[in-house]
Amino acid sequence: MTTPDGEIICRSLEQPAAFAEVYDRHERVVFRYAARRLGASLAEDIASETFLVAFTRRRDFKGGGDARPWLLGIATTLMRQHARTEAKAWRGMLASDLARVDIDEIDAADARLDAKRLTRRLGRALARLPAGDRDTLLLHTFGDLDYEGISQALSIPVGTVRSRLNRARRKLRAAIELTSSREKEQSHGRNLAPAPSAD
């Protein structure tokens, strides 16, 4: 029986142990989301704590069939106490973090160099994002939430989600395009790139 999360959470108000089903369904998603932001070690604690908080606040659940936005929102809030750790991790982002990135658009000879440059710029851009914009962006990319889901997760209007996401994307795009421009610079031996933003 495919029981919607909302029904299980409703049932757990009468029968608290039913909430274990929510854990079984979503602990992996919450863990992976947290692990991609903070690393596996901290993510274990975040994942466990997320469900403890969710259980004690289950009366507040206003979602429908899918509890993921609600759970990822709680996880996001819990992760804020580790904001410095996360920012540090983004700034130290390695090329291996993008191991699966298809770099066939980059000149083969410069691939390694460009991948390093790309990840460094991407990481720094992420670290510099305002917390709310970063949460929005990463709920979208790592949490696989749509606008509505992010709106539920962060308790903000969909319009705010849209503007935060646009702003975050713009900043990341600028960082990536800067890298691409430098590729051209290297290929043609001329400096055509715009002046880099402060980083």
Partner 1 sequence: MDEISLLRRARTDIPERTSASVARGRAELFAQIEAETPYAPFAAIGNDTSFTPRPLRRRRRRTVAWTGFSALGATALTVALVSGNLFGVGGWHGGADPAAADVLNAAALATLEVSDPQLAPGQYLRVRTDGTYLTEGWLDEDVDAARVDGEVVDLASIEPQYYMQGEQYEVFLSADRSDSWWWIQCRVTLDQTFGPKSEQAAQQNPSFTDGVAGHLQEAPGGLRKYELPDGGFKIGSPVGGYTTLDGSSDDFTLLPLEPSELLNEIYRFNGDAGQSRDGQALVWITDTLRLGTVPAEYRAAMYQAAALIPGVTITDNQATLNGTTGIAIGRDEANSSVREEMIIDPATGQFIGERRIALESYGPVAAGSPMGWTAVTTEIVDAAPTDVSSCNP
- The only residue of 25, 48, 167, 193 in contact with partner 1, by rule CB under 8 A: 48
Counting Cα atoms < 13 Å in the Cβ hemisphere of 130 gives: 8
3-state secondary structure of 126: helix
Dihedral sign computed on CA atoms, order 152, 37, 100, 105: positive
Q: Which amino acid is at 126?
A: L
Range 132-161, binding partner 1 (CB under 8 A): 137-138, 140-142
For position 60 contacting partner 1 by CB under 8 A, the verdict is no
- The only residue of 28, 80, 88, 112 in contact with partner 1, by rule CB under 8 A: 28
For position 64 contacting partner 1 by CB under 8 A, the verdict is yes
For position 112 contacting partner 1 by CB under 8 A, the verdict is no
Kindly state the smallest distance separating residue 172's Cβ from partner 1, in Å: 4
Which pair of structure tokens corresponds to residue 72?
Answer: 């990822």
Q: Which stretch binds partner 1 (CB under 8 A): 71-79, 80-88, 94-102, 187-195?
A: 94-102
Written as one string, the DSSP assignment of 72-105 is HHHHHHHHGGGHHHHHHHHHT--GGGGTT---TT
Q: Which stretch binds partner 1 (CB under 8 A): 76-84, 155-163, 165-173, 191-199?
A: 165-173
For position 61 contacting partner 1 by CB under 8 A, the verdict is no
- The only residue of 25, 91, 98, 113 in contact with partner 1, by rule CB under 8 A: 98
Contacts to partner 1 by CB under 8 A? 1-4, 6-7, 10-11, 14-21, 23-24, 27-28, 31-32, 35-36, 40, 43-44, 47-48, 51-52, 55-56, 64-66, 93, 97-102, 105, 118-119, 122, 137-138, 140-142, 169, 172-173, 175-176
